[in-house]
Structure 1
Amino acid sequence: MKYRAHLSAVLAAALLAAGCASTTTGSVASGGSARSQLLLVSPEQVMQQSLQYYDQQNTKARAQGKLVTSGAEWNRVNTVMQRLVPHVATFRPDAARWPWQLVLIDEDTVNAHVMAGGKITFYTGIIRKLRLTDDEIAAIMGHEMAHALREHTREKISQSAAGDMAIAIGGALLGVGEGAQQLAGLGKQLALDMPFSRHMESEADLYGLELAARGGYDPRAAITLWQKMAQQGGGGGPSFLSTHPNSGDRMAALQNAMPRVLPLYEQARARR
């Protein structure tokens, strides 16, 4: 039994070590370091799943008459995206060749999200309810683009797979019952999945802050954005049981990074 446990631990450790890498260079806003990521699944697998969901989302929105492909709102958001795209090469050169694409859905939802490979979805509700300025749209756009650049979806899937593997191996070796394994699974969710999700959100905030600044959008708008979100109730609640940082923590981190990104904004403005 001890030999089997040792062998399983060695194999699991080797698998995890082989999956450690970093998808991008570091961000000025986060101090310049590039965090190592656990990447056990291939980018092709994640891309396939993401594109499938993206197509389903768009087909449903089109059938409901909610898919916006032109007009003032679409032009505003698309212009922001197009100004930020050239700067993704700062973090990873291959991303400049991705088929970045915007979808705007006419729905009363204060949200935006991104699929792997640069497929970005905005909802009209976030623009209208928060009365977003272009600089605030850039803060959201940069955040979503950062999730894609850092391949956070791929990382989350890899973390979940690694955690499930560890629980399954441990349960089998120790003869633990199903109930105990479910309890361990809940512990994994609270101790691993949620904090990493919060960390990814914070990371996307900082990378996105730099992207917006490099695109010539005022990074200070990220602060006003989260002030508006806090008033709407977004990002509130206890951080411990949330996959997002609370608004106060978020704004403090953004404010702390501001001296590092404001010079990039001033340089971008001077070039325009």
Structure 2
Amino acid sequence: MRNFALIFIVSLLVISCATSPLGRRQLMTVSAGQMDEMGVASFTELKQKTPVTKNAKTSAYVTCISRAITAELNDGRVWEVQVFEDDQVNAFALPGAKVGVYTGLLKVAKTQDQLAAVIGHEVAHVLANHSGERVSQQMAAQGLSQIGGAVTGVDPQLFGIASNVFYTMPGSRAQESEADLLGLDLMARAGFDPRQAVTLWQNMMTAGGQKPPEMLSTHPSDSTRIDQLQARMPKDLPVYEAARAGGKKPKCG
């Protein structure tokens, strides 16, 4: 069993050859095609279960911002955009070129630039293949928990808790921070003011309730996110100014 555990770990290291757009090593055991199929299926199921807004103006507004962001990917795909009637302060993007925004988010993301910060963040998750990485991490964590329990005799659930706190959650926080920075890049390239990303998270801090300590969360704290965004601002402000000078001046509403 010990030899099997060693083989399993070495195999994961060999497979772990993907690199994110910011240079971070990623564990990747599923293909982009597989993730696209999963994303399309999930989006189709969500549309069947959650009502889509009937407000044409709201739909056009969100679509305008989303298309401006996704155009910066230069992937040749026309992304499907849907606005869902739901009070959740949330949005998402899925592999397979899908974007979803809940109407509750529009109460917090109060301008087109603030909404662009959220959509840029979500599209960045797809750009960096974070969904595939999360699936791969979950598979690895489950496998290691089972092997650890078999080798040591310790309850695999304890290994599962430890791997969640010390492996899965830190990995998720790294993905969120990466998506914040890549999303900032995307919105600046599209001609949206990156400074509004900071304002957005200030709004989130005001709107949000009590949150767990950062170590026990899948997301960085709001203050950490703001600090990271401000640190990247000197890079993206010139990009934004160049985009505006080049004629990229979104007027979505």
Deviation at 1:172, TM superposition (A): 2.4
In structure 2, what residue type is equivalent to 1:173? V
In structure 2, C-alpha distance between the alignment counterparts of 1:225 and 1:149, rounded to whole Å: 22
CA 108–11 in structure 1, closer or farther in 2 if over 3 Å, else same: closer
C-alpha spacing 1:80/1:216, structure 2 compared with 1 (3 Å): same
- Structure 2, unpaired ranges of 5+: 248-253
Give the TM-score normalised by structure 1: 0.85
- Superposed, 1:124-135 pairs within 5 Å as 124-127=103-106, 129-130=107-108, 132-135=110-113
Tell whether 2:191 aligns with 1:202.
no
**What TM-score, normalized by structure 2, do the two folds share?**
0.91
| Residue of 16, 19, 29 corresponding to 1:19 | 16
1:271 Cα deviation from its structure 2 partner:
0.9
Q: Which moved more, 1:163-172 or 1:148-157?
A: 163-172
What is the 5 A alignment of 1:1-272? 4-23=1-20, 25-26=21-22, 34-61=23-50, 66-68=51-53, 71-89=56-74, 96-127=75-106, 129-130=107-108, 132-174=110-152, 176=153, 180-233=155-208, 236-272=211-247
Distance 1:254 1:131, change over 3 A: closer
SS of the residue 1:68 aligns to: coil
Structure 2 SS opposite 1:258: helix
Structure 1 residues 15, 193: CA separation in 2 closer, same or farther (over 3 Å shift)? closer
Q: How many residues align?
A: 247
> Aligned partners of 1:131, 1:60: CA distance in 2, in Å?
24
1:234 CA drift (Å): 6.2
Secondary structure of 1:121's aligned partner: strand
Q: Structure 2 vs 1, CA of residues 266 and 36 (structure 1 numbering), >3 Å: closer, same or farther?
A: same
> 4+ runs of 1 displaced by more than 3 Å?
234-237
Secondary structure at 2:67's aligned position in 1?
A: helix
Change in Cα spacing, 1:183 to 1:207, as seen in structure 2 (3 Å) is same
- Provide the C-alpha distance between the structure 1 equivalents of 2:112 and 2:150, rounded to a whole number of angstroms: 54
Instruction: State the alpha-carbon separation in 1 of the partners of residues 62 and 225 from structure 2.
Output: 23
Deviation at 1:7, TM superposition (A): 4.9
Whole-Å separation in 1 of the counterparts to 2:209 and 2:14? 36
Unpaired runs of 5+ residues, structure 1, are 27-33, 90-95
> What is the percentage of aligned positions where both structures have the same residue?
36
Task: For residues 112-152 of structure 1, give each alpha carbon's deviation from its aligned partner in whole angstroms, at most 9, with x where no partner exists.
Answer: 1121122111011110x225101001101100000011111
Q: Which sits farther off after the overlay, 77-86 or 205-214?
A: 77-86
